[in-house]
């Protein structure tokens, strides 16, 4: 049985690490990993594969950074060629990136069974491209693996049939349990950066809504620079953010005030997260990792696709609309976390549940339709 896994960005590498390992326990499974090349930086791509012990991609499409339409179009064209060539029994996509949507569309057009891992998330803000990507992917999919009960309810409200829905928990929690201690033992990032445990704020900024908007970017950096007068602020610099800081003539000032470091691998990032006293981020995945490692988080957006973190009191929203408002939220985030005795993300065995369902459904699927056979042979 052949399964095509389509990935392209850091959060997908993390999730694929858990699911690919679970799939490798089945002798009947031949997983072929297709890397779109959406994240082409060494630290954001190859290093993640090495550290998380993900098999090297069977195909690397090397699409790189483009506008949304051009990037999705080129991915779709390249993915269709690969899927026609490899004739998988099913396709897996993760999350909400352009790679996710391109993979979903390619599978749907070829009538290939499609599984969406991290299905059902909603921010209800169609102004951000990730929301469109997740909604369209969910409604193209045959198997929807939801990480939370809230995600399941979101899909039910949209009329997704029950036989497609599977509440499995969050595979990122699986990875956090597996690699949390390993990161502490193998990473020396704190020593390299001259940081004290619980003595710094970690900031990660990469979303286009923040980096492509000069006003928002200036507000974020102004607030972080002011906070740095009280505590060191560490900023691993995403390639997109670096370009935006250069465009806005901010890189020199930010580098003088903040502890700017190059983008880091997964184990270094986990170590930075675990030992921060506060995380300020616009990343969906980092919000959850902050929760996994019991670190307070401030999300630099108007909304989040993880509302349970707000309900638990371990995360707060700080839309970067004013420096004063954002700085106030960051300072409140430095207060001690409330006691938390629940985990909405499962028990750390999500990947094995997903692998079991995938193998059962893909191995037992009926003979492909005549249309599907024609598409794959052309």
**Residue 51, SS3 per DSSP:** helix
Query: What pLDDT sits at residue 48?
Result: 80
Q: Report the pLDDT averaged over residues 297-311.
A: 96
The CATH fold of domain 2-170+346-377: Rossmann fold (3.40.50)
The DSSP letter of residue 365 is: P
Query: What pLDDT sits at residue 373?
Result: 42
The DSSP letter of residue 50 is: H
CA 325 to chain CA centroid, nearest Å: 27
User: Residue 370 pLDDT more than 80?
Assistant: no
Model confidence, pTM: 0.91
Query: What pLDDT sits at residue 69?
Result: 86
**Domains 2-170+346-377 and 180-333 belong to one CATH topology:** yes
Q: Taking all residues of the chain, what is their mean pLDDT, rounded to a whole number?
A: 92
Annotated catalytic residues are 206
Distance CA 295, CA 228 (A): 18
Query: What pLDDT sits at residue 143?
Result: 98
Nearest to 270 by CA among 190, 170, 367: 190
User: Residue 91 pLDDT more than 70?
Assistant: yes
Q: Report the pLDDT averaged over residues 155-163.
A: 97
CA 187 to chain CA centroid, nearest Å: 21
Query: What pLDDT sits at residue 365?
Result: 63
Q: Which two tokens stand for residue 119?
A: 């299905």
Instruction: Sketch the domain layout of the chain as residue ranges.
Output: 2-170+346-377, 180-333
Say if residues 334 and 366 touch (Cβ distance below 8 Å).
no
Q: Which range among 44-48, 233-237, 251-255 shows the weakest confidence by mean pLDDT?
A: 44-48
The CATH fold of domain 180-333: Rossmann fold (3.40.50)
- Characterize 96-115 residue by residue with b for buried, 16 or more Cβ atoms within 10 angstroms of its Cβ, and e for exposed: bbbbbbbbbbbbbebebbbb
Distance CA 194, CA 165 (A): 47
**Residue 167, SS3 per DSSP:** strand
């Amino acid at each position: 049985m052949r399964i095509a896994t389509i990935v392209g960005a850091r959060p997908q590498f993390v999730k694929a690490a858990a699911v690919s390992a679970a799939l490798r326990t089945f002798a009947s499974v031949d997983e072929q990993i297709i890397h779109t090349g959406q994240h082409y930086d060494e630290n954001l791509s190859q290093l993640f594969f090495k550290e998380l012990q993900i098999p090297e991609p069977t195909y690397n499409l090397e699409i790189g950074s483009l506008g949304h339409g051009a990037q999705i179009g080129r991915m779709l064209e390249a993915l269709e060629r690969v899927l026609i060539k490899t004739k998988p029994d099913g396709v897996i996509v993760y999350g909400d990136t352009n790679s996710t949507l391109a993979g979903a569309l390619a599978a749907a057009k070829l009538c290939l069974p499609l599984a969406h891992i991290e299905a059902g998330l909603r921010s209800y803000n169609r102004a951000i491209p990730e929301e469109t990507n997740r909604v369209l992917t969910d409604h193209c999919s045959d198997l929807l693996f939801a990480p939370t009960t809230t995600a399941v309810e979101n899909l039910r409200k949209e009329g997704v049939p029950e036989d497609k829905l599977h509440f499995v928990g969050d595979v990122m929690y699986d990875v956090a349990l597996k690699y949390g201690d390993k990161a502490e033992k193998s990473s020396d990032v704190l020593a390299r950066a001259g940081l004290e445990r619980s003595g710094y704020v970690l900031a990660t900024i990469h979303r286009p809504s923040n980096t492509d908007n000069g006003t928002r970017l200036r507000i974020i950096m102004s607030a972080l620079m002011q906070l740095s007068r009280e505590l060191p602020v560490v900023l691993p610099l995403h390639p997109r953010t670096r370009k935006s800081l250069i465009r806005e003539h901010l890189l020199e000032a930010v580098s003088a005030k903040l502890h700017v470091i190059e983008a880091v691998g997964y184990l270094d990032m986990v170590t930075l997260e675990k030992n921060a006293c506060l995380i300020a981020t616009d990343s969906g995945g980092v919000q959850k990792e902050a929760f996994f490692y019991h670190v307070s988080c401030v999300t630099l957006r108007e909304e989040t696709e993880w509302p349970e973190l707000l309900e638990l009191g371990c995360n707060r929203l700080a839309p970067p609309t004013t420096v004063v408002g954002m700085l106030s939220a960051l300072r409140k985030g430095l207060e001690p976390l409330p006691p938390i005795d629940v985990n909405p993300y499962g028990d750390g065995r999500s990947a094995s549940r997903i692998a079991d369902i995938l193998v059962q459904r893909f191995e037992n699927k009926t003979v492909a339709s005549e249309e599907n056979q024609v598409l794959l042979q052309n």
